[in-house]
């Protein structure tokens, strides 16, 4: 068993962070370094999948649950529109190898992609 990830430690209450929403298998927190007016992380409670490619192959229903939670949160925290970003791999900027979706919302009319 690998060391608990930072997100597992947050879920277990070992690192302070407000859990803004939970479903059966996923939870959400605010990113500590927000890149948009609303920047949430939607995270499976299990850390067994390192990235979105592993998650899609191993548990597509859980990936669908993450997207549903992202959609709910974008409606609660912004106007319902959102950008969903999964970094996969260190060369793409991934720093935490416990799969998570960045939910970016609010004032994103100026596109960067």
**Interacting residues toward ligand AMP by CB under 6 A:** 6, 15, 17, 29, 31-33, 41, 87, 93-96
Could you give the CA distance from residue 91 to residue 25 in angstroms, rounded to a whole number? 28
CB contact at 8 A, 29 and 43: yes
In the three-class reduction of DSSP (H, G, I as helix; E, B as strand; rest coil), residue 28 is classed as strand
Name the minimum Å distance from CB 55 to ligand AMP: 13
Q: Catalytic positions, please?
A: 100
**Which CB sits closer to ligand AMP, 41 or 78?**
41
Strand partners, 53: none
């Amino acid at each position: 068993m690998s060391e608990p990830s930072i997100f597992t430690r947050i879920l277990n209450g070992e690192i302070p962070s407000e859990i803004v929403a939970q479903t059966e298998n996923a939870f959400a927190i605010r990113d500590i370094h927000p890149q948009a007016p609303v920047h949430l992380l939607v995270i499976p409670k299990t850390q067994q999948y390192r990235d979105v490619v592993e998650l899609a192959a191993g548990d597509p229903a859980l990936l669908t649950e993450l997207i549903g939670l992202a959609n709910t949160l974008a409606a609660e925290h912004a106007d319902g529109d959102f950008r969903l970003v999964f970094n996969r791999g260190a060369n793409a900027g991934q720093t935490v190898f416990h799969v998570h979706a960045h939910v970016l919302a609010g004032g994103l009319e100026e596109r960067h992609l």
